[in-house]
Amino acid sequence: MSRRAATLAVASVLVLVLALVGSLMPVPYVTLMPGPTRNTLAENAKGQAIITIDGRRTYPTEGSLNFTTVTYRGGPGGRIDLLTALRGWLDGDTAVVPEETIFPEDESPEEVDEQNTRQMTDSQQDAEAAALHELGVPISTRVVVDSVQKGRPADGKLKPEDEITAVNGTAITKVDQVSKVMDGVRPGQTVTLTVRRGGKELQQRITTAKGPDGGAVVGVVLAGAYKFPFKIDVNIGDIGGPSAGLIFSLAIIDKLTPGALTGGKFIAGTGTITPDGEVGPIGGIEQKMIAARRAGATVFLTPKDNCAAAVEARPDGLRLVRADTLATARQALVALTTGKGDVPACPS
C-alpha cells in the first residue's frame, strides 16, 4: 500500500471514529413524542372511573372524550445523544426542542415534575369550577395554606392545606382579603388566625415578622380554593400539566346532564381552562393530534391560539373544532351531535 493510500485509510478511520463518538455525545435537546390518551368517560387502568361524582345525580353517557398527552426523552441527568436528536428531526411524529424549553435553567428536574403535578391538580380544580359555572351551580371560595416558610413565625403553627377562615376576627374567603387585614398590622404585632384543620376549628396566635417590603408577615404562601356543593374526583394517575382542563370540564358536564355530549362519537382534545371557562393554548399540539388520531378520534377540540399550528400538522381523518371557551366547545359538541348549529373550525 502506498504512503498516500495509507494516510487516506487512517484519516478515514479517524473521521469515522470521530463521527461515531460525536453521534453518541449528549446534547441539550429534548424529543417530544405522542403520549397516551385517556377517555375521561371510562375507567382508568385500576378499574376506577376517571371522573367520579358523589352527592349529585349523574347520568349515563357513551362515546369517548379523550384528553391527550406528550411524552419526552432527554433532560438534565438523562440527555439524549446527537444520533437520537437527528432521528427525531427526521421523524415527522417527533419534535426536537431545546432542553430549556422543558427544563428551565433555574429549576431542577424534580422541581419541574413537582410543578407539573401541581399544575394538574390546579387544572382539575379549575375544570370543576368551570363546569359548575357553566351549569349554573353555585360555588364559593376559600383560602388555604399552600406552603409554610421555614424559620418564619408560622413555622410549626400552620400546615399546608390549613383553611384560613378569619384573621383578627374578620371573615376570609379570598386571598386579597388577608392582604387587606395584614396591611393594618405592624411587624411585631400578634395576629389571631382562625384555622380549619381536619374538620376542626382552632385559633392560632402568631407574632408577625418584618417582610421584604417592610410589612408584617407570618411566613406562609396562601392560595385560593373552592368549596364545591358535592364531591368530584379525577383519577388519572401519574400525569402532569394543565392541558387537560377543557376535557375534564366537558366530561363533568356530560356526567351531570342527560344524554351523551359526544353523541357516541370519538372526541379528543386539549386546552387549559380557567374557572370562568376561558380555554388557553398548550404545547405539543402536533404530537397530541397524532396521539388522538391513532387512538381513533375523528374530532379534535383545539384552543384558538393553537389553530394555526394544528392546521399545518393535522392528521388525515381528524376534524379540528376551535374551542374559545367552555361554553362554545359545549355548543360545538351539541351541534356535531344534532347536526343543528355552527361548528367553529380552525382557522376561522
Length of the chain: 348
* Whole-number Cα distances in Å, 30 to 26, 78, 96, 324: 11, 10, 6, 30
53-57, 197-201, 297-301: segment of lowest average pLDDT: 197-201
Please answer whether residues 212 and 220 qualify as being in contact, where contact means their C-beta atoms are separated by less than 8 angstroms: no
Residue 63: pLDDT band with limits 50, 70, 90: very high
Residue 237: pLDDT band with limits 50, 70, 90: confident
0.85 cut: is pTM over it?
no
User: Mean pLDDT, to the nearest integer, of 264-276?
Assistant: 94
Query: For position 166, what pLDDT does the model report?
Result: 96
Beta-strand relationship, 266-269 and 64-74: parallel
pLDDT for 67 beyond 70: yes
pLDDT for 12 beyond 70: no
* Structural domains of the chain, ranges and CATH numbers in brackets: 29-137+232-338 (3.30.230), 140-227 (2.30.42.10)
**Separation between Cα atoms, residue 113 and residue 115, nearest integer Å:** 5
Let me know if 174 is a catalytic residue: no
From 64, 123, 243, 249, active-site residue: 243
- 3 state SS of 235: coil
Query: For position 18, what pLDDT does the model report?
Result: 44
User: Which three cell numbers mark 228?
Assistant: 364545591
Please answer whether residues 306 and 281 qualify as being in contact, where contact means their C-beta atoms are separated by less than 8 angstroms: yes
% pLDDT > 70, the chain = 90
Residue 47: pLDDT band with limits 50, 70, 90: confident
20-24, 133-137, 288-292: segment of lowest average pLDDT: 20-24
From 157, 255, 265, 288, active-site residue: 288
Let me know if 288 is a catalytic residue: yes
The average confidence (pLDDT) of the chain is: 87
Report the interhelical angle of 245-256 vs 109-134 (nearest 10°).
30
Please answer whether residues 246 and 274 qualify as being in contact, where contact means their C-beta atoms are separated by less than 8 angstroms: no
